[in-house]
Structure 1
């Protein structure tokens, strides 16, 4: 269990879920697998964002739980890893097309603005606004390579955004409370959107994978809304591994 807890504390479950979602959407829409440079860039970027995010948390709010205590205790090691991976990402940028670099830089600027807004308390005035911005950035990062390759579809993009938002709002509500009615509406709106995708003839195997992610989150809300369920929710986003293994 300690091994899996460390994976969760390092957000490697989130990295795996993000990369597997990216690979599934890319393959489903373009019928080819993305290059390893795309996968590595995305995975490292997510690790960097979450790692820096934890350090900002500890500076602004202090180490308030086990996860943040872990990052505080291992700060020097983790910062060294973040620096090394940042250098790897710079190298990887030389291996992708200029359009990817341009849009990636735009996304980095958006993330920087997001962090600035967060540290200045911009997201405290409406419950859920931080989660909405985070979900938009997450969805954009996952689908950026697919969009550049000409395979983006709004319906799938909205499905990913709703699932990411559901994950964030669910655990914000579990951790600190908040707008339960909004969360309930989000559960059923995202479920209805996914069902509409299935009935509209979108690729069935992808729809089933996304419904599995939704079902795990809905199950947590209705049957076990506890903090210790967070790793299960993060691993749910790695469900596209089923699609990947079945299509190798």
Structure 2
């Protein structure tokens, strides 16, 4: 069930972004997210407030197939999967502080992060036998490739969302194309929401879909131009015949 929480969260997030696009508020949303992240960063760093969220090692366990206990443990910070993520995030934050511009290098998080961990956040799965990484693609970018790579990725995300909003409204006269834009845009948003809890861009099954959504939005733009050009050509022919 720990693998599905990101999926559960992505559905209301996709619904929210749908209304944001519809109301042309994508710029406001992006600004709000940026300010929220900046504010949260200042809060957690100030006076080491992040230490307030350290888990109780004995109580931080896996709750198996008990859905109610699983959800309850999540918001009580007693779920081993969630708190192991926090353990990695704290390590990633300390890696970022150590090398903010260059990062530790691509694909170096796993062999590097353990010397940046804080033992107070350790869980019984912290040995990390499966070799997983930060469980947050944005933190992974910062930790491995520094602020420049993170800024470029954020620019890609912001540009994509603004393009999706523009195409959503521009394709209204073309219902079939409009539906394609909506599906592709929300698919992008769903994958994007997962990146706060996973690094699925680096997974071939999901990462490929991420880049396909980018390509599809670009193609939708050219389809729109072709449809508009066809309409203009038809209008000129009618005018000439008249």
Q: TM-score range by the shorter chain?
A: under 0.3
Q: Indicate the structure with greater helix content.
A: 1
TM-score of the two chains, using structure 1 as the length reference = 0.25
Between 1 and 2, higher relative CO (CA 8 Å, sep ≥ 6) is seen in 1
Structure with larger Rg: 2
- TM-score w.r.t. the length of structure 2 is 0.26
